[in-house]
Amino acid sequence: MSEEEILAQLRSIFVELFEVEAERVTAEATVFEDLDLDSIDAIDLVARLQQLTSKRIDEATMRRVRTVGDLIAVFSAHLGEQPPGASAAG
């Protein structure tokens, strides 16, 4: 799955779970400040990512996530594919 495909998937999740406008979900957007997620939302997000990847995402990894780009790296790493130039958050 490409970085663009992962971003599209994350956009879909943010729209569905958190009613965030799709155009606000960019790789540079900060999850908690720009997209207004709180700690409960983060738990829901982790649960959805774990469903999609069929792999557990540890708490320490998610604590380092600040941007949607970080989420792309986590998602990609859990799929076993690291996009070029991405820095894994874990």
Q: Which CATH number fits domain 3-79: 1.20.58.390, 3.10.450.50, 3.40.50.2300, 1.10.1200.10?
A: 1.10.1200.10
| Residue count (the chain) | 90
Per-residue pLDDT of the chain (90 residues; tens, 9 = 90+): 899 999 999 999 999 999 999 999 999 999 999 999 999 999 999 999 999 888 898 889 888 999 999 999 998 888 874 444 444 444
Domain boundaries, the chain: 3-79
Q: Does the predicted TM-score (pTM) go above 0.85?
A: no
The CA dihedral of 60, 62, 66, 71, to the nearest 10 degrees, is: 140
